[in-house]
Chain A
């Protein structure tokens, strides 16, 4: 087989088997392709090739997929895997692993075959996969068509000849390694705009959001220049540009204020309020990404909803008939009351003192984020002054209300309610709340509550309901209600933390982050799954 010489018959349309050395000389004119495809490129070869791609390689629809699965088997051994190849000259499928396609190529002198998994074309003379320009072009078009059928609008980037030339002449490259500043940048304070800067830092370091914008996934359909999503995209470009001087986010401020008028012009700005307003504007502007939006407002699948939107379940239980009325509301953040506010924090549940949950006494240690979440999801007796009309009893009854998480967002944002604005007092609650690096939300899920009510106290490890989250950004407020300053800790490269104080970015330790007061806590789901 290798190195064997066979007489050359010029009239023979099929290719010639030659020794490797001759092949090398011939290949010099064809860096990625080979001359042996010329025998194939006759008559209606383009259409034939297209048909092969459409039927046997990239099946765009369910029927073509089924047909491919059923018909693509090795004609010699019946295997449907083993790197199945199709001969380009005749209808023959053979597996590569057991060399059945090689046998066919040798016997019939059909020197080209196509890999049915990835569409690569194999030349048995060159004994390698080859990339012929014209055939590659057809392959790309067919692949794009099939992907489009599956709803995938984007294809991988490959450099053109001109781009390759440019890149070869410019060998300097920046790559994101663990000790690299790329992705980090300071932000100029535009006049007490640290409330905006701290949120921008958190958003630009949200992994999924970063990946979305760096993959250039936003295709803008807004007519004017006032798309906030475009500005966000621009922001990521600025952060990854490698510039060391801080960025001036004046356009961002202008856009947010023009689109969220209720926010602009207040002397005192709250970072949490800015976050919600920014997400709202981004969500509205993202709508234009998906053609379906205009007709179907309940089915928003924009990146903001995919990342930030969760479902909060509220169960109201009638104390008389025990009928439960359930509603589910979407949320972008969870606002948690703190001890020290006017509303009592302890006990965590009615009638109990909550002090011996998990064997820990709340009196001994600091309040934890878990404590706040337990309080948030506790059953709350609504009292005789707030009777709810029960559809079971057909009258007003006392009831208890309980909140649980129906669906967790990919990024969970916890807002510690440190700013108290009641009728009598305005103050900042500085109670230290300890929060973990890793958080398991399982106990607060609606499904967990159902399990508890059904008597299943043992929480088996459910592989498919992973509720583990990792902390990746912490927004802190220093100072008083009247005059204060926001900073953000963000996580980069798994275990490195950085402090973002407007224009100044410095390295921080785990301890710095976990010892900080905490105002907005951003957690990212550890494992993502397809929907």
Chain B
């Protein structure tokens, strides 16, 4: 099959189809060859075995589908004593109470400014009142963390922030189809690489 210069304008549809078919089958063949080389290289260089799994490990990770336990076979609600370290104040906090703690720690809550003002006021008046006493009072107000009231005005604001930041970065992405090659790729499942083609969930 000699290479020759050829103009596409003079060709009819069947010839164009045949050309496209040729290119497609060449691409498919090249892709298969690439895969063969990958395997050949992996075997010769001694890392082909990496793909093997051991049955024991795989059994450990089998999904469990039984009432009363989750997919790991664990009973519900055993995670009561988890703790974490606050990135802001470095104190160790119970995980289930981390959010209300963080809200106050970052000075963001509805009550935070009230508490802060109170602190300023009382430290002006009573210099001998210790820090820890005041913090104990703060903890009493932890129950303000619940689904409560308003979010209407704030919802508008978050929309504005979103639209504003988006308007600065309007993406111009357009898709050009490379349909034929990736219909072939439907047959290949490679979850560990970025997939082009039908989505592998």
Contacts and interface: CB of A to CB of B under 8 A. Distances in A.
Interface of A: 31-32, 70, 73, 78-81, 83, 115, 117-118, 120, 129-131, 158-159, 164, 167-168, 171-177, 179-182, 184, 186, 188-193, 205, 207-208, 211-212, 214-215, 217, 242, 244-246, 248, 250-251, 253-254, 257-258, 260-268, 270, 273, 276-277, 280, 283-284, 297-301, 305-306, 309, 329-332, 407, 421, 426, 463-464, 470, 472, 481-484, 491-494, 498, 503-507, 524-531
10 contacts: A115-B37, A188-B95, A192-B147, A211-B192, A215-B193, A268-B147, A268-B148, A482-B147, A527-B198, A531-B173
Nearest to A154: B194
Contacts of B72: 181, 244, 505
Nearest to B178: A530
A332 B171 CA distance: 12
B47 A507 contact: no
A244 B71 CA distance: 9
B148 to A, nearest CB: 4
B201 A129 contact: no
Nearest to A293: B169
B158 A117 contact: no
Nearest to A212: B194
B1 interface: yes
A264 B171 contact: no
B169 A300 contact: yes
Contacts of B88: 254
Interface of B: 1-3, 26, 30, 33-34, 37, 40-41, 44-47, 49-54, 56-58, 61-63, 65, 70-72, 74, 76-77, 79, 82, 84, 86-88, 95-103, 106, 108-110, 112, 144-152, 154-155, 157-159, 161-163, 165-179, 182, 191-201
Top-4 shortest CB links A-B: A265-B108, A191-B99, A300-B169, A421-B152
Nearest to B62: A179
Contacts of A70: 3
Nearest to B3: A80
Nearest to B36: A118
Contact residues of A: prevailing secondary structure = loop
A267 B144 contact: yes
Given A190-B99, A464-B179, A482-B147, A32 B45 contact: yes
B194 A181 contact: no
B147 A262 contact: no
A23 to B, nearest CB: 15
A309 B63 CA distance: 34
A359 B89 CA distance: 63
A143 to B, nearest CB: 13
B96 A189 contact: yes
